[in-house]
Amino acid sequence: MELTNGRYSIQGVDILDVVNEFGAPLYVYDFQKMERQYKRLVNAFPDVRMKALYACKALTNINVLKHFRKMGAGLDTVSIQEVWLGLKAGFKPEDIVYTPNCVSFEEIQMAVKEGVKINIDNISILEQFGNAYGGTVPVCIRINPHILAGGNPKISTGHIDSKFGISIYQMRHLQRVIASSGILVEGLHMHTGSDILDIDVFLRGAEVLLQTAKEFPNLKSIDFGSGFKVPYKPNDASTNIEELGAKLSERVLEFIGEYGREVEIHFEPGKFMVSESGYFFVRTNVIKTTTATVFAGVDSGQNHLIRPMFYDAYHHILNVTNPQGTERFYTVVGYVCETDTFAWDRKMNEVREGDILVFRNAGAYAFSMSSNYNSRFRPAEVAIQNGKAHLIRRRENLDDLLATQMEMDI
Ligand SMILES: *Cc1c(COP(=O)(O)O)cnc(C)c1O
């Protein structure tokens, strides 16, 4: 988003024109930014065979999925519904990886029927899988390397108490199950958390995975998961993808030399691919001064963007209608009947009732975590692509709220 002559624009498209046309609250995604992120990741690994799978739970609009398919990405899914969306978006089954956690065996069988790659993260399911398919359907195994990583306990998945993955301390048990049921293991996987800044954490996790990989002779891919940190605040640090690419590629080439056959490496970022491409626009309903603070109350809440309340996430907020206004402090809150505070004591250009504010980093885990709480409609979504604004999801209406409800005689 750029500011020229007091107006904000994306790809040359004037933002206030877009908000006026489609209304607020509104999610807007810069498709070019997604492309730049995807290419940045791919270009960081020129010397090894690397495939980037978009972890679509971050943002599942079908147009976003198609955009990643056209760029050549694969898809990382965590539910059978995401698998179906991926197939609808035109991904080939072999380009979709299904990495569920604590789902039923029936759901895994449904994914097998769709022909997608199956990632298994517990021994009980693996046993059932072996009983049902033997070596006829290859699997990928999700390992928990017990590397502590991530920006917040709620988004760290590699620790000892985590429900994700098969512990590296269970390798003997794992190998016994594989040997006795003849399961064909073609991939190893880890995903240790989100918002990991320190690339040494990745490299340590990768080392554990590569050591483990030596015990599996039929690997075609090794998946290092994701968790790349993106900048949220101005001047925030982010994962140095280029340095990671250089260091990990070197290590992977060495591994391939010892292993004796080619393996493809995978990453499956969600946040890195789409976070910064997203903007969430809201209108200011009220400025309310209390004895303690000045509230800017906006026409949205935790029903549309829950990350600040759920993860204490920081989203930078700008006043797009008054970019030259005097800077003052505001506590930005939603209209939901909960304490849905987006931000405390934020310095912003003077906010007047009616002003449009924008939350940055609203691409990942923003719309996809939205709900109808308080019976509010979910916002519309707009893509900016080729210098034009495209409506890619209309705003909901009362019929949508009632669409799945059945009336009984009262
Ligand atoms: C959520 C998830 C990701 C994506 O994580 P980000 O932090 O958004 O990059 C990748 N892999 C798996 C298995 C996930 O569950």
Nearest-atom number in ligand 1 for the CA of 58 is 8
What is the spatial distance between Cα 87 and Cα 189, in angstroms, rounded to a whole number? 22
Quickly count helices (H) and strands (E) in the chain: 12, 21
Per-residue tokens: 349: 């250009």
Please give the model's pTM, rounded to 2 decimal places.
0.95
CA of 105 to the centre of ligand 1 (A): 22
The rounded distance, in Å, linking the Cα atoms of 260 and 230 is 36
Q: Is the shortest distance between the CB of 269 and ligand 1 below 6 Å? A: yes
Q: Dig out the tokens for 228 from the structure.
A: 């790349």
Give the three-class secondary structure for 125. helix
Q: Does the beta carbon of 226 sit less than 6 angstroms from any atom of ligand 1?
A: yes
Pocket test for ligand 1, best of 144, 268, 275, 368 (most atoms within 8 A of CB): 268
Locate the ligand 1 atom nearest the alpha carbon of residue 57 and give its number. Answer: 1
Would you say 358 and 280 are in contact if contact means Cβ atoms under 8 Å apart? yes
pLDDT tens digits for the chain (410 residues)?
999 999 999 999 999 999 999 999 999 999 999 999 999 999 999 999 999 999 999 999 999 999 999 999 999 999 999 999 999 999 999 999 999 999 999 999 999 999 999 999 999 999 999 999 999 999 999 999 887 655 555 555 666 667 788 999 999 999 999 999 999 999 999 987 777 788 888 899 899 999 999 999 999 999 999 989 999 998 898 899 999 999 999 999 999 999 999 999 999 999 999 999 999 999 999 999 999 999 999 999 999 999 999 999 999 999 999 999 999 999 999 999 988 999 999 999 999 999 999 999 999 999 999 999 999 999 999 999 999 999 999 999 999 999 999 999 99
Q: Are 321 and 24 in contact (CB under 8 A)?
A: no
Torsion angle, alpha carbons of 99, 103, 105, 107, to 10 = -80
Indicate the DSSP class of residue 336: S
**Residue partners of 276: CB distance under 8 A and separation at least 6:** 33, 37, 230, 231, 360, 361, 363
- Report how far ligand 1's centroid is from the alpha carbon of 184 (Å): 25
CB 76 within 8 A of CB 95: no
Residue 229 to residue 192: CA distance in whole angstroms:
13
Both tokens assigned to 148 = 């502590």
How close is the Cα of 107 to the center of ligand 1, in Å? Answer: 20
Q: Looking at residue 377, what DSSP letter applies?
A: P
